Chains A and B, each alone.
Chain A
């Protein structure tokens, strides 16, 4: 039986929303739906104060990382391009690490938004470096940009280690725990910031769906069809980088989500971004909600950092993608 692409997207959206809505009921203990509206019931407290905000945060983070991955892959016409391979995540990690270090030693306090601004600054710095190198060395060459991203990724990863080395044991542990990626201890107040950034990013990317399709078809072809290639690339790259920076600031560098979800959606729906964007947004959100659930229950009552869960799934997936891409000729 063959389903239409529209039906598949609708099914992905409905399934993702259902899974996300159901996830806060599961965890160390299972909460009955009838208890969540009872005043002063301890399960209602756990549900509304802890699990529901966390499921929302996981959904938004997964959606943002997946959309960014989708955009970078279309942009570079390479299924292995992700916020990590392009250095954006490590730049954001560096920004947050510096904040933790300086905040701990110089008593600089920006409140809860401190890590967000620091990560965005780090993501912006790495993005500017990748952009400048690409522009100086190769016009807007995709290959140069990807190579620059890999180099910048290594550079900022080393700087993160250096900051960690300089930090005292408390800050060093904090940075290390944060680098593993975790949604535990997320402040509810930051959820609104994350929602704003991710939804704004979604709108920008959705409005540019046709440009992204045409860039996937090739820059010359895109320009000949009326796309202002340089401007479109800058807008898309900025939107994706800001989404990654905001997620990294709140949850740490959660790897491979931006690789796995867009790839799985493309296998089902093809490359048309009008269909892919909603599918990737909802499937990405749902995927991280499930990973977060797994991180809470596998070693309960202990909690595995979510970055470890996604990396354990993502490593084999990355290799599978690599071998599959070589067979199908998707890699240049």
Chain B
């Protein structure tokens, strides 16, 4: 792939090829959000970004940029640096050396306070990790922390945001259920509801559907895609499911050994050896017999 990330993302071909995502690229900012970067029109922009811990380079010269309302699927083999990239966008690394520039909402993330960054970016952790000892409702309420002062209780606006998030994820009737009593799929929906309650225009998801059965995976994917299309959320999702980007549309970023192997419209993944080069594996590209969308099969 040649050219800068901005050129690639902004190229007429790229916008047209991404289907639905192009529509979101021209939308104005969500009410009460900082909006896209001035000039570039990019909501998330990563330029020549490298991250290393000691002598070990985990990410090298990663470049991409996506407009507001876009859906970016981040793919790559194990150890390629996908989760590290996601965490770097949230400044979650205590240790390590960072080079390059990451901008969200038109400003370098280093210029935001932690609360300002949280008002801009929410995060859904990987499934199968630590289960917090809270109910669904409590977890969603905690997500209003970026707007809270030290002594304040939840405001009416906070309650409305929490209620709306639970409604969108169809969890209102389960709000008092502890997370520990939920199935894996329900729990991921609860984390998604909590991230939604945060009210941030950008959402990062770290393998949200891993460990879920096909039914729950499909339900979660539908929810994510509808949030992107209907709510205009900018989404960056790390996934191992190569067919997820096909369903979500938008952009794909493929990492290999910490470097950008591909960035561009999802359609660019089909053929051309992109996936084969990244995963060192053969793939077959078919058409779905019912709806005709592309399907990627690993050999």
Contact = CB atoms under 8 A, between A and B. Distances in A.
Interface residues of A, number: 29
B142 A214 contact: yes
A208 B150 CA distance: 7
A139 interface: yes
Contacts of A227: 114, 145
A68 interface: no
Contact of B151 (A77, A207, A328, A329): A207
A225 B119 CA distance: 8
Contact of B125 (A213, A220, A228): A220
Given A210-B145, A226-B118, A218 B91 contact: no
A218 B129 contact: yes
Interface string B115-128: 11111011101000
Interface stretch (B17-25, B130-138, B208-216, B219-227): B130-138
A208 B123 CA distance: 22
Nearest to B179: A217
A270 B178 CA distance: 10
Contacts of A272: 134, 138
A226 B125 CA distance: 15
Given A225-B118, A225-B143, A225-B145, A216 B180 contact: no
Interface in B118-176: 118-119, 121-123, 125, 129-135, 138-139, 142-143, 145-146, 148, 150-151
A271 interface: yes
Contacts of B111: none
Nearest to A266: B133
Interface residues of B, number: 36
A226 B114 contact: yes
Contact of B134 (A228, A271, A332): A271
Nearest to B130: A218
A223 B145 CA distance: 11
A97 B236 CA distance: 56
A207 B151 CA distance: 6
A217 B94 CA distance: 18
B288 interface: no
B287 interface: no
Contact of A224 (B92, B132, B138, B139): B92
A20 to B, nearest CB: 26
A140 B129 contact: no
Contacts, number: 81
B37 interface: no
Contact of A139 (B95, B113, B131): B95
Interface string A204-245: 000110110110111011011111111000000000000000
B134 to A, nearest CB: 6
A140, A223, A272, most chain B CB atoms within 10 A: A223
A99 B65 CA distance: 62
B133 A223 contact: no
B284 to A, nearest CB: 37
B242 interface: no
B87, B94, B146, most chain A CB atoms within 10 A: B94
A213 B142 contact: yes
Given A210-B142, A210-B148, A213-B142, A224 B123 contact: yes
B94 A224 contact: no
A229 B93 CA distance: 11
A175 B258 CA distance: 58
Nearest to A135: B94
A270 B133 contact: yes
Given A207-B151, A216-B133, A220-B92, A226 B142 contact: no
A226 B117 contact: yes
Interface in B194-214: 198, 204
B90 interface: yes
A332 B130 contact: yes
Given A140-B94, A226-B115, A328-B180, 18 more contacts: A208-B150, A210-B148, A214-B142, A216-B132, A216-B134, A218-B125, A220-B87, A220-B92, A220-B123, A224-B123, A225-B146, A225-B198, A226-B113, A226-B114, A226-B117, A270-B134, A270-B135, A271-B133
- The 5 A-B residue pairs with the shortest CB-CB distance in the complex, in nearest-first order: A226-B118, A224-B123, A217-B132, A226-B115, A226-B146
11 contacts: A77-B130, A210-B145, A216-B132, A220-B92, A223-B90, A224-B92, A224-B204, A226-B119, A226-B146, A230-B94, A329-B131
